[in-house]
A and B are shown apart, each in its own frame.
Chain A
Amino acid sequence: MGKTSLISRFVYSRFPFSYQTTLGVRIDKKVVALDEASLNMIIWDIGGEQTQARVPESYYLGSSGVIYVFDLSRPSSFFNMVDDINFIKKKLPRTPIITVGNKTDLLDEQTLEEVKNILPIKADYYTSAKTGKHVETVFIKLAQAMIENVR
C-alpha cells in the first residue's frame, strides 16, 4: 500500500526505493505546525493485514486519528475497504479517519479516473509517496481534524 513510504516521505522527506514489509508496528514522531497550534504527532505505522480484524487490539490504544491507505494500482488492496473502515469506526468511534489512495505515480490520468470509479468508497486524497504529491496535506488535514475533535 505504501504506508511506510508515506510516513517516510512526511517525517524524513525521503522515499525508500526498496519495498520492505512491516511485520507489526513501527513508530515515528513529527511535530506538525498548524496555524493555531503545533501538534506532537506520534505515527503508528501498522503492517498491512488481509483484514483489520487481524491487527492486534492493543495497536488501537490511544489512537486520535487514522489514515487508511490503499494501493491504487492493486484492486485487491481496496476490496476490503468498506469492512475495514466499518471495523475501525467500531473500534474507534468519533476518531477522524482519512482515506488515502496511494501510488498515483503508477497510473496515468485516465486509468486513475477509471480506478476512482470502481472504488467502494471515494478516497479523501490521492497521493504519491514517491513524488510527495498530497502527502503533507493528508497529515496536516488529519492533524486539524484531531484538534477539532478534542475541542
Chain B
Amino acid sequence: MSVNQLKINYLAKKAQVVLFTSEGGLIESCDTLIDVTKLTKQSSLFEAFPMLESLQSNFNLLNDIDNELYFPRVEFSYNDKEWVFDFTFYKKNDAKGVFIWLIQDLTRQYRYLFDVQQERNESIVKEELRKAQSVPEILQRDIEYLNRILRLKLDYFTKLTYDIKNPVQDIYSTAVLLKEHIKTNEGEAYLHALSSSVHLLNTMLDDMLELSQLDIAKTPFENKLFLLPEVLWAVIKTYDYTSHKQNVTVKLNVDTDVVQKLWGDAIRLSQIMYNLLHNAFKNVSKGGRILVNVHLIEKKDNEVLLKFVVKDNGKGMSNEVLQKLFHEKEQPNALAKLNEIPFYKNNMGLIITRQLVNLQKGTIEVDNVNGKGTQFSVVLSFNVEKNLKK
C-alpha cells in the first residue's frame, strides 16, 4: 500500500462527506461518523440538523470551492457520545444547487483543549471568588493599620501637650511669685509681659488638649498595661498651678484593694479624669476642696470594675446643664456645632467624657446639690494582668 493510500485510509476514518441540495434534501452521505442517511429517512436534512436549518439562507451565497463556510469546534451529542467536529460547507462545482458538508472528527484533539480551557475557567472563577472574599479582610487590616497610626500620632500629640503644659505652668507661677518680690517698675513690667505670654500659651495648650481629645474619642480603644496611680497622678499634676492659684486642695485616694496594674486605655482614662477635674475646678471656690477617690466595685476572674469619684465642694452645677448633659439622648451633631452653640463649647469636656464612658460600656452618674458641690462617679471595667499580686 502506498503512503498516499495509507494517509487516505487513516483520514477517511476521521472524516465524513455529505452531499445535499439547497432545499435540505440528502443526496449522499458516507455516514462514517454520523448516520445521516438514517436520521434523514423521515425528515429533511435541515429538520434533522437545526444548525443547517439556521444556515440555509447562506448556502446559496457559496460560489466556488474557494468560498467556504467553516465552523470550528461544533459540539455535538450523538450515540451517547460527546463529539467535537469541524464543519465545512462548500458548493459542489460540477453540480448545480448541490453542496458539500465536510465533517471532521477532532474530538481527540479538542478534548485536550477542552480540559485546558475548563481548568483555566475554573481557576479564574476560584481566583475571583478568593479575591472577592478577601476584600473585607484587606479593608479591615488597612483600617486597623491606619487607626494605629492615627492613634500613635494623637497619643504623641496629647502626651507632648501635657508635657509642655507642666513647665509652662511652672514658669507662670514663678513669674507670679517673682512679681511679688521685684519692686522696680521696669522689673514689674517685664514680669507682667512674661506672665501674660505664658498665660496665653497655657490657654492655647488647653485648646490643643481639647482638640486632641475630640480626635482620640473617634479612634478605637487600646488595651495596654498601665499603672493606675501613675496615670491619675499625672492628671492631677497638670492642675498644680490652678490648685495653687485658687488655693484648692486636691486629694487623691485609691482604696488599698484596688489593683494597680491594669490592662486598658490609659489615655482615655486620663481624658475622663482630666475633664472631670477641669469641671470641678470651674465650680469650686477659693480655698475649696476636690477629692479624687477610686473604689473597687467588683472583681471576677481577669476583670475589675472600678468606680472613679471626683467630688468638689463648689457652687454646684445648674440643673439645666446637667439635664442637657446626662438625660438627653446623644446628639451626634452637637460636637460639630461647637462653634455655634456656647453651651456645647463650655461643656465640651463633659460631653466628651460621657461619650468616652459610653464607648467603654461604662456608666457615669452625677450627684449635685446647689451651693454644696458636685460629685461625678464613673464606673469602668479593666482587665487585670494575669497572676498579678497586688
Contact = CB atoms under 8 A, between A and B. Distances in A.
Interface of A: 19-29, 40, 42, 44, 47-48, 56, 58-59, 61-62, 74-76
A40 B118 CA distance: 31
Interface stretch (B120-128, B147-155, B305-313, B368-376): B120-128
Given A21-B114, A23-B114, A74 B125 contact: yes
B70 interface: yes
B74 interface: yes
B199 interface: no
B371 to A, nearest CB: 57
Contact of A56 (B56, B71, B117, B122): B71
Given A29-B50, A56-B71, A58-B71, A21 B118 contact: yes
Nearest to B71: A58
Contact of A23 (B53, B110, B124): B110
Nearest to A59: B71
A21 B125 CA distance: 12
Given A21-B118, A47-B73, A58-B70, A76 B124 contact: yes
Contacts, number: 67
B57 interface: yes
18 contacts: A19-B118, A19-B122, A21-B114, A21-B118, A21-B121, A23-B113, A23-B117, A26-B76, A27-B54, A28-B50, A29-B50, A40-B53, A56-B70, A58-B69, A59-B71, A61-B58, A74-B125, A75-B128
Contact of B51 (A19, A23, A42): A42
B58 to A, nearest CB: 5
Secondary structure class of chain B's binding surface, majority of residues: helix
A24 B69 contact: no
A47 B69 CA distance: 19
A24 B74 CA distance: 6
A20 B75 CA distance: 12
A23 B121 contact: no
B50 A42 contact: yes
B91 to A, nearest CB: 15
A44 B75 contact: no
Give the contact-size bracket for chain B: 20 to 34
Given A21-B121, A25-B73, 9 more contacts: A19-B121, A23-B114, A25-B74, A25-B75, A28-B50, A29-B53, A42-B53, A56-B70, A56-B71
Interface of B: 50-51, 53-58, 69-76, 84, 110, 113-114, 117-118, 121-122, 124-125, 128
A138 B388 CA distance: 71
A19 B114 CA distance: 12
A21 B55 contact: no
A26 B117 contact: no
Nearest to B125: A74
A47 B118 CA distance: 11
A74 B50 contact: no
Contact of B128 (A29, A44, A74): A74
B51 A27 contact: yes
Given A58-B69, A74-B125, A76-B124, A24 B75 contact: yes
A147 to B, nearest CB: 16
Contacts of A29: 50, 53
Contacts of A22: 75
Contacts of B74: 24-27
A24 B72 contact: yes
B71 to A, nearest CB: 5
B43 to A, nearest CB: 13
A62 B58 contact: yes
A138 B357 CA distance: 58
A44 B124 CA distance: 24
Nearest to B75: A26
B164 to A, nearest CB: 49
